[in-house]
Structure formats: C-alpha cells, structure tokens
Amino acid sequence: MENTSYWILFLSSAILLNIAPGPDMMYLISRTISHGKRVGFATVLGLGTGAMVHTLFVSLGISLIITTSVVAFKIIKYIGAFYLFYLGIKELSSGKIELDGNRETKNSSFIKAFYQAILIDVTNPKVALFFMAFLPQFYRNNGTSKIVQFMILGTIIILIGFIVESGIVLLSDKIANLLKKNPIISNILDKAFGGVLVGLGIRLVVQKD
C-alpha cells in the first residue's frame, strides 16, 4: 500500500508539472507554430535530453555545486540568456518566411533545433533548481543507491514530458496549418517567435537567483 501511494503521488506530481504552463512550453509552442512539427519534435527531444543532463547532474551532486556557487550560477544564467537573445534577434531580423508546406525545412533543420533546445535547457539554472528540489523529495532508503533512484525518477518525468509535449506539438501544428495561407499572419507568427525568445531571455535575467 505504501509503495502504491508513493507512485501515485510521484506520477501525479510529474504529470501536473509537465502540463503546467512555463517557459519551455511557450518556447515549444512558438517553435512549432513558426517552424513546423518536425522542428517541434526535435525541440521536444532536445528539451528532454537537457532535462536528462540535469537529472544526471543532480544524481552526481554536480547541480548542488553549481547552485551553491554564486559565480557559476550567474555564468550559466547569463550564457542561457545571451543565447536566447541571440536566437531571438536572429529570428526578428530574418526575412519573411512563408508559412506553407515547406515550413519544416525553411530555416531550422531537425538537428539544429535539437541542439538549440538542449543548450537552452542545460543553461537554464532554474531547471537545475527544479530537479534538485523535486527529486530528493521522492528518495527512499530502500537499499537502492540515490544515483539509481534519481535517474529512474528523472527518466519517468522526462518520458511523461515527451508524451505531453508531443501532443502540444501536434496541436500547435494543426493551428499553424489553419493559418498558413495568410501571408500576413505567417510573417507575424515568425516575428512573434523571435519576440518570445527575447522575452524568455529577459525573464531569465530578471528572475531572482
């Protein structure tokens, strides 16, 4: 019974955390609407890979070192913010992009979108803080090492995220397809994505450590 209650609580928390609106979801929706579902799925994989890196760091105690070091924390934070600014300005200054059947190959390849999402997630210290605060709450002294437990729990969170985020990609792409024949809306959506990136960069900078 205790084991059942543990997993119900953990899975419920993991699902709620994954469906709660946040910067990653905003980034994913904007990315998909602007660049298509292929890039959207690449972003899902990239965000999941970045989350796996954070899980590994928490398991090995690296996240604790980073978050307790003011200098390291700020360096990572500003690298992440600068990269978001860079991508946002690049998007805003790019030429008009048609929102048509070629959206999936227009500007961002699958691999490029994948690596961008990894870098954005890994350089977000708030994600590190989340995993460092969340995973230890579900540690059990049952003979299994902390590293193994954290990696299993983190992997489950990420897999749930894949399911939720894949649904978001498909829904966002359908919305984009309804708008794809309007060149004005097409251009607005493309510029809006750049604005979202800049906004996320500003948010990362102004957030209290």
Query: What digits encode the pLDDT tens for the residues 108-145?
Result: 488 999 999 999 898 887 788 888 889 888 988 887 88
The pLDDT of residue 190: 67
Per residue in 123-133, pLDDT (tens digit) is 887 788 888 88
Tokens of 108: 């961002």
* Domain contains 150: yes
Place of tokens 């928490």: 58
Q: Which residues contact 164 (CB under 8 A, 6 or more apart)?
A: 15, 18, 19
Per residue in 62-88, pLDDT (tens digit) is 777 666 766 777 777 778 788 788 778
* Domain contains 191: yes
pLDDT-based confidence at 104, cuts 50/70/90?
very low
Tokens of 71: 């200098």
Total number of domains in the chain = 1
- Calpha distance 191→185 (Å, rounded): 10
* Domain contains 12: no
Amino acid at 147: I
- Calpha distance 187→49 (Å, rounded): 31
CA angle 79, 87, 85 (to 5 degrees): 50
* Domain contains 148: yes
- Calpha distance 121→23 (Å, rounded): 10
- Calpha distance 68→44 (Å, rounded): 29
Classify residue 181 by its DSSP letter: T
Tokens of 63: 């996240």
The pLDDT of residue 181: 65
* Domain contains 91: yes
The pLDDT of residue 189: 67
Closest CA to 196 of 96, 87, 62: 87
Per residue in 22-62, pLDDT (tens digit) is 788 888 988 888 888 999 999 999 999 999 999 999 888 87
The pLDDT of residue 41: 95
Domain of 83 in residue numbering reads as: 23-206
* Domain contains 9: no
For the chain, give the mean pLDDT. Answer: 81
* Domain contains 194: yes
Q: Dihedral angle at the C-alpha atoms of 16, 22, 28, 29, nearest 10 degrees? A: 90
Q: What are phi and psi of 125, to 5 degrees?
A: -65, -20
